[in-house]
Every structure is written in structure tokens, then in C-alpha cells.
Structure 1
Amino acid sequence: MKHLTILVPDAQTAPNTLSCIIGTYHIFTEANRYYSHNNKDMVFTIELAGVSEHSDFVNGLLTVIPQKNIAAIRKTDLIVIPAIAPNFTKIEDQNTALVDWISDQYKNGADVASMCTGAYILASTGLLDSKSCSIHWNTVANFKKLFPKVNVRAEKIITDEHGIYTNGGGYSFLNLLLYLVEKYYDRQTAIYCSKIFQIDIDRETQSDFIIFNGQKSHGDEMIIQAQEYIEKNFSEKISMEELSKKLTVGRRSFDRRFIKATGNTPLEYQQRVKIESAKKELEVSRKTINEVMYETGYSDVKAFREIFRRITGLSPIEYRNKYNKTGITAKQHH
């Protein structure tokens, strides 16, 4: 039988830390039970492990008592790292032992899965360097600044690379758990768990949850001016050549500084501002898809749909059907 370790951090915790721990224990216990009920051997022995006798959560309202100290676990097959506080800057002393232990176990053959901001602990091991990683879209800027060697894939719900799994934010850790159940048990068990716990199976993207907010904390005043100009005039045809002249900077230097500050080229930034505006219209208005397209400065339906899907993971019609609560049907808006 394989061994599953659910880590219990001793500091830097948040309410979602507890959700991840309980959710993992609950779903894997149910997967074991289902397997056993179908005359198969249970896959995992499941243990909660940490570095102290108990960890307090939600301002001391709740306490988790780990079953074991990590030092007592010589060999494990799968480690699950729960989410931690999102305002992470560096590993605190109480959690450094977790980082060292995760590194040693991975080198010894264990797979490692991080949930949401648990990626901060995983990235602190160095194991994510040059690998893909998903994390909550709202923490991407901070994560990239702290761990520039990691290939952040904020649009993904799940990444799977060399025995390291990560997932996006909030309660999408449930999708990662189904993914792991399918990998370690089978498809039938994953479908059973998705039905019992009422979790959408095969969800792969968190792009349609990203709220593009024109991030401006980079400190480059010239690029902030450019961002504000693009945001005010996004529905117009903007010449980036003219904009760079307006800001008295060479075009190549303008592009280079823009990418460094925002992570996007000026054109990509303009596209994202346009699509964010389109998303808001599709969420609340009764305008047709074509009306929304024209208002955001697009005239080519195919191009609009392709860019919209690339950024959100959904077509404009799919997005409207999912997020517009006014009872409008897609048939009316082709």
C-alpha cells in the first residue's frame, strides 16, 4: 500500500489551509472506501504530518493535531501541501523543516502536489525551478517576483510535470484531488468521487476567473502612463509606434520596458483590456455578441472569438451563458 502525507503547516496558515487538509483527507478516504467496496486493495495509508503537536487555524478557533511528526515518516509516496496565507514573502522558521523534508522525499521518489498558495512552500524547495506551476490568479505578481525561475501558468487549473502537481486558487484544489484520484486509482473512482462530492470533473482552466486589473505596482511611471492611455482608448486603433513617440521613448525600448513591467507586450495588454471590457458587458448587458465586439474595437468576428477564447478559455457565447444571470440564451446572440 502506498503512503499519502497531508502536511499540516505550523505557521503562515489561512482558513483555506484547513479546507485543503480536510478536503484531501475526505476525498482520499472515500476513494479508498469505494475501492475496497469493489473488492480492490485500498491504495493509500493516509496520515496528517507536521512539525509540532498541534497547529492553530482561524485565529485559534480551530486546531489540527497531526498524527505524526514528519521526522517519523522515512518514506512516503505522495505529499499534499495545502494552501497558506496569500501575503507570503518568505518561509517562516516553523515551516523550514517542511521545505527540507519535501526536498528529501521528492529526491527519494515521492510525488508532490501543492494546492493554491501552497505553491509558495513548494517553490521554496527549489523543486519548481524551470517547471510549470499554477497558483491563484490574484497572487501571480507576488509569486513571480519571489520565484522568477518558475514557469507560472496562471490560466491552468492543474499542472503536472515530473511528479510535481500544482493547482489554481480557491476551491479548485478539489479538481486537483479528482485528478490525483484518477491517476492513483482509476477513472471510475474519480467519476464516483465527482458525483459524491459534486465536483466538476475535467475542469482544466481558471482563465475565466481571472480579473484583469491593469497591474501598476511596478514603479515605471512612463509605462503607467502608457497603460492608462491604452485603458482610456482601448476601443480605438492605437499605434504603438505613435504612443512610444508621444512618451518620447524609442519603440524597442518602449516594448522592452512594457514587457518587463507588466509581463505583456503593449499589444497583448491592449487585447486584455479589450477582453476585460467585453467580459463585463457579457456578464451584465443584453447586447449581442456583435455589439460587444464592435464596442471593444474589433470588427473581425473570428479574430474576436479567438482572442476571447485564448484569454478566458471560453468562447464569448459560452462566457455569457456561464456568467450572465439575466436569462438571455445564446441563440439570441449569435
Structure 2
Amino acid sequence: MKHVSILLLDHVNIGSMENARLGLLEANTFQKLNGMEDYFKVELVGIRPEVNLYNGAFTIRADKTLDQVSNTDLIIIPPVQQDLASGIQDNEAFCPWIKEQYEKGTEIASLCLGAFILGNTGLLNGRKCVTHWKATGQFKRLFPDTQLLPDKLLTDDAGIYTGGGAFSSANLILYVIEKYLSREAAIYCSKIFQIDMGRNAQSEFIIFTGQKDHSDDQVKTVQEYVERNFPEKFSVEFLCEKFFLSRRTLERRFKYATGNTLLEYLQRVRVEAAKRNLEKTNKTVSEIMYDVGYSDSKSFREVFKKYSGLSPLEYKSKYGLN
């Protein structure tokens, strides 16, 4: 039997915590249906015996506190439901225990914004990881030594697993069930909870809003120009002349401030506009392609799939008007 410690964080996201707990317990149900014993012993482990949430509306009691767990096989870190800086600070006491357990051979899985708690331990330095796409900018600033893969749905690196968004973290739980127990158990759980096991990316869910949480005002001016004029045909050289910067300087400053090259930024702005049109209008893919500044259908399809994970037709079929 594998002992699993789900951390009862201060200000924990109850939904994600319960997704993990119920998923593992359902794997035990699979075992029983097949005449076998439970495989996972699942416990909520906290700093204190209980946590109050939503101004006392909910009280969750821990099965054990940290000092009562000397060894565990898997630690699951759910996300916090509050400001991330405060969430990291309020849950600081978990970090030494997580590191100590990992050094003993314990594996660790973070769900969604739980990656911020895990990142604070230093165990993600140099390792591949994911978190919710909306928090990637803040994660990169706080933990620059990690190999953040914002488009991926989950990662598996040296006994450390990370998963994307709060509800899509259920895919990480299925992955853990398959790795620890069996694929048959994971398929059973996916059917019970109606979760698509085939997903491996969060690209199609990303809403690109432009990375403007930086202090380079001239780069912001360039960004705003691109966002207003993306349907037009203009080159990097044109932007350099317009804003009185050399190409090398503009490319360097733009990449440093936004994390994208100028070309990547223009592509992402155009793809986001195309996605909105595919969702909200009855225009054809070709009409939308021209509206957002493309004239070559092959190039448009390739760029669209690069940033959304789907072809324009697949995206329209999935998210467009019926």
C-alpha cells in the first residue's frame, strides 16, 4: 500500500484537493471490484489540526499534522485560493518537510498553482514543470531557474510531477494512478469522472493578453502598436524605424520584457484574434485568416496550431457557434 499525503494548505483550493483525494480513492474502488486490496492510503496532512476557509464557512480537519508523518510515498500539493505571494508565505512551514521527504525518496506532485509552493522549496530548480497558463509570468519571475513549459499539461521529472490548471490537474492524478497502479485503473477512473485521458497540452485554453507586467515603457508602446495594427502587413524593420531603435536593440529589449520575439508576439496576437472570431462569428476560416493579416492558408494553419494546439477547423468545431 502506498501512503499519500495531500497537503492541507492554508487557503487551499478545495476543488483541486478533493479531485486528487477522490481520484485516488476511486482507484481503490477499482482494486476492490477486481478482488484486490486498497492500493492508496490517502491522508490530509497539515501544519495545524484544522484549517478554516472562506471566513469560517468551511472547516477542514487534517488526518495528521506534519510532525506525525515521518515517511510517505507521495506528497500532493494542491493550489492555494488567494494571492500567490501570501499563499507562499502562509504555507512556508511545509517547505522544509517537503524537502526532507524528497531526500528520503518520496515523490511529489503539484497541482496547478501548487507549483508555487513546490517552487519555494527549491526542488524545481533546473527541472521541467508547469502551472496554470495565466500564472506563468509570475512563476518565471519568482523561480527563474526552473524549466517552465507553459503549453504542457503535465511533467514528470526525477520523481517530481506537475500539472496545469486546477481542474485539468485531474489528468495528472490519472497519470499518477497509471504509473503507480495500472493503466486499467486509470482508464476506469477516467470513465467514472469523465476525464479525457488523451489530453497532453493546455495550449487550446490559453488566452493571450500580452505580457505587459514589465517596466519598459517603450516596449509597451511597441506592443500596443502591434495589438492595434496586427491585420496590416509590417516588418520588424518598419517597427525599428517607427520607434527609432536599432533592430538588435529592439529585439533584445522586447524579448527580455515580454518573453517573446517580435515575430512571436505578432503571431500570438493574430492567433488570439482568430480564436475570438472562430468562437463568436459565422465567418469561414479563410475569411478570418485574411481578417487577422494572413494570406497564405498553410502558414496560417501552422501558426494557429503552434499556439492553440488545434487546427483552425478543429478549434471552430470545438468552440464555435453551432
Q: Same fold (TM over 0.5)?
A: yes
- Structure 1 residue 42, shift from structure 2 partner: 2.4
Contact 2:219–2:254 (8 Å) recurs in 1: yes
Paired position in structure 1 for 2:176: 180
Q: How does 1:35-184 map to 2 (within 5 A)?
A: 35-85=31-81, 87-89=83-85, 94-184=90-180
Q: Which amino acid aligns with 1:95?
A: N
Distance 1:94 1:267, change over 3 A: closer
Contact 2:132–2:165 (8 Å) recurs in 1: yes
Paired position in structure 2 for 1:307: 303
For the aligned residues, what is the CA RMSD? 1.4
- Structure 1 residue 89, shift from structure 2 partner: 2.0
Paired position in structure 2 for 1:331: none
Correspondence for 2:193 among 188, 194, 197: 197
Matched residues in 2 for 1:85 and 1:240: separation?
41
Matched residues in 2 for 1:25 and 1:227: separation?
43
Contact 2:75–2:109 (8 Å) recurs in 1: yes
- Structure 1 residue 257, shift from structure 2 partner: 0.4
Quote the sequence identity (%). Answer: 45
Q: Which moved more, 1:192-201 or 1:260-269?
A: 192-201
Matched residues in 2 for 1:201 and 1:86: separation?
29
- Structure 1 residue 184, shift from structure 2 partner: 1.1
- Structure 1 residue 217, shift from structure 2 partner: 2.0
- Structure 1 residue 120, shift from structure 2 partner: 0.7
Contact 2:305–2:312 (8 Å) recurs in 1: yes
Paired position in structure 2 for 1:259: 255
Contact 1:8–1:50 (8 Å) recurs in 2: yes
Contact 1:89–1:146 (8 Å) recurs in 2: no
Q: Does 1:290 align with 2:286?
A: yes
Give unmatched runs, 5+ long, in structure 1: 328-334
Distance 1:237 1:123, change over 3 A: same
Secondary structure of the residue aligned to 1:159 is: strand
Distance 1:316 1:92, change over 3 A: closer
Paired position in structure 1 for 2:2: 2
* 1:104-124 Cα shifts (integer Å, max 9, x gaps): 111111110001111110000
Distance 1:90 1:143, change over 3 A: farther
- Structure 1 residue 86, shift from structure 2 partner: 5.1
Matched residues in 1 for 2:59 and 2:279: separation?
40
Matched residues in 2 for 1:146 and 1:86: separation?
17
Distance 1:93 1:259, change over 3 A: closer
- Structure 1 residue 90, shift from structure 2 partner: 5.9
- Structure 1 residue 132, shift from structure 2 partner: 1.5
Contact 2:113–2:166 (8 Å) recurs in 1: no
Contact 1:86–1:117 (8 Å) recurs in 2: no
Contact 1:258–1:265 (8 Å) recurs in 2: yes
Paired position in structure 1 for 2:212: 216
Contact 2:80–2:87 (8 Å) recurs in 1: no
TM-score (norm. length: structure 2)? 0.96
Matched residues in 1 for 2:208 and 2:26: separation?
38
Give unmatched runs, 5+ long, in structure 2: none
